Chain A
Amino acid sequence: MNKIFSGLLVSDFTMDNFSQVLKHKNIFPLIDTTITPYGEFMSVLLDPNHVLRKKKYDFVIIWTQPHSISESFKDLLYGKNVDIDLIMNQVEQFAMFLSNIKSVVKFVFIPTWVIPSYIHGLGMLNMKPKIGISAVLMQMNLALANYFENDPSFFVLDAQRWLTEIGPKAFNPKLWYMAKIPFTNDVFAQASQDIKSALRGLSGDAKKLIIVDLDNTLWGGIVGDDGWEKLTLGGHSYAGEAYADFQRSLKALKEKGVLIAIVSKNDEQVALEAIEKHPEMILHKDDFVGWRINWGDKAQNIVDLVSDLNLGLQSVVFFDDNPSERARVREELSEVFVPDLPNDPMLYTYTLQKLNCFDAPFISKEDRERTSLYAAEKKRIAIRQRVSSVDSWLEKLDMHITISTVNKTNLKRTVQLLNKTNQMNLTTRRLSEEELVVWLSDKNHFMRVINVSDKFGDFGLVGIFSFEILESRARFVDFVLSCRVFGRKIEELMVQAACQNAQKRDLLYIEAVYEKTAKNKPCFDFWKRSGFDYNESDKRFLWDFKKDYPINLNAKIDEKNE
């Protein structure tokens, strides 16, 4: 991940320390920051001509203290009786101001309002509605979160979690009086981790697959020696309960679209029997997208498994109790993230839940059903292995492809696919919802999305192509396809549909300029065999409309122009 994200930091306190932490190169992605001068945060929010709003940023962080945006809350802090409705009005007004910043950024992060934990306040009355500081603060934060509930560019971040993580060292009153900084760098480090994780998620760099070992990882004991009946899992032992909880946490990841697979040194039949028969197993066979259970090298097994799933190694997390297996995988496959696992299984769930590499900006229907989609894919592959040619295989799948315009129903998923697809992606353009809507409003811009289903299941929205009209030619802007449907001639269909639509506009030819990244070689390989003329010097593929783009695909194809 080489991109440097540009961020604008807007705050009522001195942001230099936070900026230093964000810019630190120890965690990806790299960030460059612009800081709002102390005391100017409201003018940046309110003045559209402010010098800091002349530039475009990838993201903005707006981090304020509650008493800065609400005078009434300040009164409450000093023990006065206040009108809670007035506070809520001030919160709403502030949220409206925040909305203005959208014109210069893709994403806005707003840490929740917090107060130092050493403020005792009204003690036992702190949670009394309307008078308790904690109760009012919660109400303010909830109102802020509700205000931005349906805005996909805004993310309200839970700052209280950062403070809880650090404990009493989160605050140093001297730092406030001497430098106007309310939090220590330990808090900023926590915030930075969450923001960098969010940026990775928004750029499609979140991890997609977690590969787990079996013995002493998913359960206690060695299934080959002990037999599945004697494994430590569930029941009344604390270790058994911990293993069951670890499986529950893995299942929770699956619910948000992360795939789970197994790589284990075991006899496959014995291990699968344990998964199927042990009454306390939380994870069942169909929860796993795949497995390599044999006595071979785990690094090689991971490579094979990941290749079968059409994923990149950089999408993978490997969980294994054995330090030497972890070291082997780390050494051989540096792209795979291998967290250290504590010796005690009671700390496995803690270790898994602390990981922030799976963050996604939203969870789609496709995410929730991903494992079953891969299971259907296995059935397709089984047919593929029985038939003689790609065409006869595709014929047996009864594919149904729909080419649609981008509309309210599919906008979110389109943006998600655009932002997370790495391999079959011509330009790796990343856009927010707002940016895409603006882009689509130009009459010289054209975009269609592709939905695919077959007799084994529905893939949902898996492809996007778009072009822009430049005088007498069209140029592909996006050419994006989910790895789950590579090699079904959908790539060719997208090219053909783009050609047909460009031809209707009396253009002479269409071109595609490949923008190389560390991950999109499969896209280059496709274009090389696409039949387009290729110019090596500028990585440009060209199709002259003197002839139609040919395709031989046996599928039901619908077009929806809503």
Chain B
Amino acid sequence: MIDKGQVMKILYHVVDLYNKQEEESRISKEPGTKLVGENAVLDSLGLVNFILTLESELKENFASEISLTDENIISDQDGPFQSIDNLADYIVNKLNEVI
């Protein structure tokens, strides 16, 4: 079983990678950070970069491929991208389904 702590660690690592690249609009490393919608730091290209980097890191760390690029899920107002915390829960469930 994969626990949330492992996934949060990867999420924060991806935040670090993103912030290293983006010198002007940095993402806060907090569970409540919003990734999409009003007051979110990421613009549309930033979100694509973030998601694809995250997919690649998850594949590398857990040797399983999960897709986070479903448009309906990304734009869902109550969906996983509302916060880093929600996204971590979503990923844990997905990974545990696959494993």
Cα separation A23 to B69 with both chains bound (whole Å): 28
B45's partner among A14, A21, A24 (CB-CB below 8 A) is A14
Task: Please give me the residue from chain B that is nearest to A175 by CB atom.
Answer: B52
Q: Is A530 an interface position by the 8 A CB rule?
A: no
* Cβ–Cβ contact A17 & B49, under 8 A: yes
* Cβ–Cβ contact B48 & A179, under 8 A: yes
| Residues in chain B near residue A17, CB distance under 8 A | 45, 49
Q: Is B22 an interface position by the 8 A CB rule?
A: yes
| Residues in chain B near residue A179, CB distance under 8 A | 45, 48-49
Q: Is B56 an interface position by the 8 A CB rule?
A: yes
| Residues in chain B near residue A349, CB distance under 8 A | none
Q: Is B21 an interface position by the 8 A CB rule?
A: yes
Q: Which of B23, B45, B55 has the most CB of A within 10 A?
A: B45
Digit string of B18-55 for contact with A (CB within 8 Å is 1, else 0)?
00011100000000000000000000010011001001
| Residues in chain A near residue B55, CB distance under 8 A | 174
Q: Is A408 an interface position by the 8 A CB rule?
A: no
Interface of B is mostly: helix
Q: Which of A20, A24, A25, A169 has the most CB of B within 10 A?
A: A20
* Cβ–Cβ contact B48 & A175, under 8 A: yes
Digit string of A165-178 for contact with B (CB within 8 Å is 1, else 0)?
00001001011001
B52's partner among A20, A24, A172 (CB-CB below 8 A) is A172
Q: Is A193 an interface position by the 8 A CB rule?
A: no
User: Chain A contact residues (Cβ within 8 angstroms of B): what range?
Assistant: 10 to 19
| Residues in chain A near residue B22, CB distance under 8 A | 20
| A188, chain B: closest CB distance, angstroms | 10
Task: Please give me the residue from chain A that is nearest to B22 by CB atom.
Answer: A20
Interface residues in A1-28 by Cβ distance below 8 A to B read 14, 16-17, 20-21, 23-25
Q: Is A372 an interface position by the 8 A CB rule?
A: no
* Cβ–Cβ contact B69 & A174, under 8 A: yes
* Cβ–Cβ contact A178 & B69, under 8 A: yes
Q: Is A185 an interface position by the 8 A CB rule?
A: yes
* Cβ–Cβ contact B45 & A16, under 8 A: yes
* Cβ–Cβ contact A21 & B21, under 8 A: yes
* Cβ–Cβ contact B48 & A20, under 8 A: no
| A16, chain B: closest CB distance, angstroms | 5
| Residues in chain B near residue A23, CB distance under 8 A | 23
Interface residues in A145-193 by Cβ distance below 8 A to B read 169, 172, 174-175, 178-179, 185
Task: Please give me the residue from chain A that is nearest to B43 by CB atom.
Answer: A16
Cα separation A24 to B21 with both chains bound (whole Å): 7
Interface residues in B48-95 by Cβ distance below 8 A to A read 48-49, 52, 55-56, 69
* Cβ–Cβ contact B21 & A178, under 8 A: no
| Residues in chain B near residue A21, CB distance under 8 A | 21
| Residues in chain A near residue B45, CB distance under 8 A | 14, 16-17, 179
* Cβ–Cβ contact A20 & B21, under 8 A: yes
Cα separation A20 to B21 with both chains bound (whole Å): 7
Cα separation A1 to B87 with both chains bound (whole Å): 43
| Residues in chain A near residue B23, CB distance under 8 A | 20, 23-25
| Residues in chain B near residue A25, CB distance under 8 A | 23
| Residues in chain B near residue A178, CB distance under 8 A | 48, 52, 69
| Residues in chain B near residue A20, CB distance under 8 A | 21-23
Cα separation A17 to B50 with both chains bound (whole Å): 12
Cα separation A16 to B25 with both chains bound (whole Å): 14
| B18, chain A: closest CB distance, angstroms | 10
Q: Which of A14, A17, A169 has the most CB of B within 10 A?
A: A17
Cα separation A272 to B12 with both chains bound (whole Å): 56
| Residues in chain B near residue A185, CB distance under 8 A | 21, 49
Cα separation A25 to B23 with both chains bound (whole Å): 9
Cα separation A40 to B39 with both chains bound (whole Å): 31
Task: Please give me the residue from chain B that is nearest to A169 by CB atom.
Answer: B56
| Residues in chain B near residue A16, CB distance under 8 A | 45
| B33, chain A: closest CB distance, angstroms | 20
| A389, chain B: closest CB distance, angstroms | 57
| B91, chain A: closest CB distance, angstroms | 17
Cα separation A219 to B49 with both chains bound (whole Å): 47
Digit string of A365-406 for contact with B (CB within 8 Å is 1, else 0)?
000000000000000000000000000000000000000000
3 A-B pairs with the lowest CB-CB distances in the bound complex, closest first = A179-B48, A178-B48, A16-B45
A residues with a Cβ closer than 8 A to B are 14, 16-17, 20-21, 23-25, 169, 172, 174-175, 178-179, 185
* 5 pairs, A vs B, C-beta closer than 8 Å: A16-B45, A172-B56, A174-B69, A175-B52, A185-B49
Please give 20 more A-B residue pairs, beta carbons under 8 A apart, in addition to A17-B45, A20-B21, A175-B48: A14-B45, A17-B49, A20-B22, A20-B23, A21-B21, A23-B23, A24-B21, A24-B23, A25-B23, A169-B56, A172-B52, A174-B52, A174-B55, A174-B69, A178-B52, A178-B69, A179-B45, A179-B49, A185-B21, A185-B49
